[in-house]
Chain A
Amino acid sequence: MELTTTPNIPAPDSFYAELIRCHEGLSDDESAAFNARLILLLANHIGDPEVLSEAMRKASLD
Chain B
Amino acid sequence: MPLDDRYRLAFRLYPYARSADQDAAAPVRHPVVVVGGGPIGIATALDLGLQGIPVVVLDDHEGIGQGSRAICFAKRSLEIADRYGCAGPMLDKGVVWNLGKVFYQDRKIYDFNLLPEEGHRFPAFINLQQPYFEKFLVERVREAQADGAPIEIRGKNRVEAVEVRDDHTILTVATPEGDYTILADWLIACDGAGSPLRSMMGLDFEGRVFKDSFLIADIRMLSESFPTERWFWFEPSHKAGASTLLHKQPDDVWRVDFQIGWDVDRAEELKEENVRRRLDAMLGPEVDYELVWSSIYTFQCRRMKAFRHGRVIFAGDAAHQVSPFGARGANSGMQDADNLGWKLGMVIRGEAPDRLLDSYHEERAHGADENILNSTRATDFITPKSKISHVFRNAVLELAERYEFARPLVNSGRLSVPCSYDGLSLTGEDALPGGPARSRPGTPCPDAPLGNGFLLKGLGGGFTILTVDAEAPETVTEDGVTATRRAVSAADDPSGALALRYLGEAEGAVYLIRPDQHVVARWSGYDESALRAALRRACGKE
Binding site for B on A (CB under 8 A): 4-9, 12-13, 15-17, 19-20, 23-24, 26, 28, 31, 58, 61
Contacts and interface: CB of A to CB of B under 8 A. Distances in A.
Nearest to B380: A20
Interface string B385-402: 011110010001011001
Given A20-B380, A61-B402, A13 B374 contact: yes
A33 to B, nearest CB: 11
What 7 A-B pairs come out closest when comparing CB atoms? A5-B403, A12-B408, A31-B388, A23-B388, A7-B408, A12-B409, A5-B405
A7 B407 contact: yes
B414 interface: yes
Contact of A7 (B388, B392, B404): B404
B411 A16 contact: yes
B387 A28 contact: yes
Interface of B: 374, 377, 380-381, 386-389, 392, 396, 398-399, 402-405, 407-409, 411, 414
27 contacts: A4-B405, A6-B404, A6-B405, A7-B405, A8-B405, A9-B405, A9-B408, A12-B408, A12-B409, A13-B374, A15-B409, A16-B377, A16-B381, A16-B396, A16-B409, A16-B411, A17-B380, A20-B389, A20-B392, A23-B386, A26-B388, A28-B388, A31-B387, A31-B388, A58-B402, A61-B398, A61-B402
Contacts of B377: 13, 16-17
A55 B181 CA distance: 71
Contacts of A58: 399, 402-403
Nearest to A28: B387
B405 A19 contact: no
B91 to A, nearest CB: 29
Contacts of B386: 23-24
Contacts of B404: 5-7
Nearest to B407: A7
A13 B405 contact: no
B408 A19 contact: no
A36 B367 CA distance: 38
A5 B409 CA distance: 13
Contacts of A4: 405
A12 B402 CA distance: 18
Contacts of B405: 4-9
B408 to A, nearest CB: 4
Nearest to A5: B403
A61 B380 CA distance: 25
A13 B411 contact: yes
Nearest to A32: B388
A8 B380 CA distance: 22
B417 to A, nearest CB: 13
A33 B405 CA distance: 25
Contacts of B409: 9, 12-13, 15-16
A11 to B, nearest CB: 9
Contacts of B392: 16, 19-20
Contacts of A19: 392
Contact of B414 (A8, A13, A24, A28): A13
Contacts of B374: 13
Most buried by A among B388, B402, B403, B411: B388
A23 B402 CA distance: 26
**Residue among B377, B398, B402 with the highest chain A CB neighbour number at 10 A:** B377
A31 B387 CA distance: 10
Nearest to A20: B389
> Of B386, B411, B414, which is in contact with the most chain A CB atoms at under 10 Å from its CB?
B386
Nearest to A34: B388
A23 B374 CA distance: 20
Contacts of B389: 20, 23
A6 B408 CA distance: 10
A1 B389 CA distance: 31
Nearest to A11: B408
A12 B409 CA distance: 6
A28 B374 CA distance: 27
Contacts of A20: 380, 388-389, 392
Contacts of B402: 58, 61
Contacts of B408: 7, 9, 12
A16 B405 CA distance: 13
A16 to B, nearest CB: 5
A24 B388 CA distance: 9
Contacts of A28: 387-388
A7 B398 CA distance: 15
Nearest to A10: B408
A30 to B, nearest CB: 9
A37 to B, nearest CB: 14
Contacts of B381: 16
Contacts of B411: 13, 16
B40 to A, nearest CB: 27
Contacts of A24: 386
Nearest to B386: A23
A59 B403 CA distance: 11
A4 B409 CA distance: 15
A24 B387 CA distance: 11
